Amino acid sequence: MVGNMDTYMMGTLRVHRIGFGAMQLPGRGVMGPPRDHDEAIAVLRRAVELGVDHIDTAEYYGIGVSNGLIREALHPYPENLVIVSKVGAFRDDKGGWLPGQRPDQLRSGVEDNLRTLGVDQLGAVNLRLTDHPQAGEERVALEDQLAEMVALRDEGKIAGIGISTADRAQVQQAIDQAGIVCVQNAFSLVDQSDADVLDLCHDRGIAYVPYFPLGSAFPNTPKVTDNAAVRAVADRIGATSAQVGLAWLLAHRDNILLIPGTSSVAHLEQNMAVGGVSLSPADIAELEAGVQS
């Protein structure tokens, strides 16, 4: 295992706080086969060797590609491996992202994940919310979506329910109605706009799994690795800027779980080494002052 990775509960399942996100394994635009199939398989196997016991995926990552690679690389799965997926969207033949939030679509999404991963139960499934229903379709009430997720949990197909891209009111509703075990929202040193949701999760003992942990992937938006304070701290402690940004998240709240993704073994090992990056109180103060200036 690389670094000193502590753990946190995701419902009834305990996982290391540094996991792996599989979104970057498929080809360009998260579609089609990986650029290097053998490297993708090696990344997954090396991740488990380094202590990863939490893998985040989705059937619509490449339309079965991500799940297929996970199965090829790791099945039969280690007993302690927690595979988390998500539903609420699907892809068209051109790679477009479409909402799929009707109860029947959520159910088929879970069942597709079970089939392609070759498992009887998923550790958790995140309900990914969207504000954009398909043309000609009415918006599906969150209450109805959560009810279907609860039914899937009651049937034993998922161990826990999560929610993604949700505001505080939606997260609170999901806590009250479905007893969620995790939340996936955007959060980073340079974008702390979701702090109220993070605090709610922390208070309720719910795992918080940030996407865009180094800032938005979209052009012309703040990036953690471009921040002057991050670079200064990284130079001083002998780490990369990305490692500093991820280490800040681990230090910020103990319920934050990281799922950095990559299609490179070398980059994976850099990410996993974050468990050994120690930020002093002075480092943290410098970083937080640097994003406020």
Active site residues: 61
Q: Which residues of 273-284 are buried (b: 16+ CB within 10 A; e: fewer)?
A: bbbebebeeebb
Per DSSP (E only), the strands in the chain are 7-10, 13-16, 20-21, 54-56, 82-87, 89-91, 97-99, 124-128, 161-164, 182-184, 207-208
8 Å CB contact between 187 and 201: no
Among candidate residues 267, 247, 266, the one with its CA nearest the CA of residue 258: 247
Q: How far apart (Å, rounded) are the C-alpha atoms in residues 185 and 106?
A: 19
State in Å, rounded, how far the first CA of the chain is from the last one.
37
| DSSP three-state, residue 77 | coil
Q: How far apart (Å, rounded) are the C-alpha atoms in residues 216 and 227?
A: 13
Q: How far apart (Å, rounded) are the C-alpha atoms in residues 99 and 91?
A: 9
Q: How far apart (Å, rounded) are the C-alpha atoms in residues 266 and 246?
A: 17
Q: How far apart (Å, rounded) are the C-alpha atoms in residues 89 and 134?
A: 11
Q: In the structure, how many helices (H) and strands (E) does the chain have?
A: 10, 11
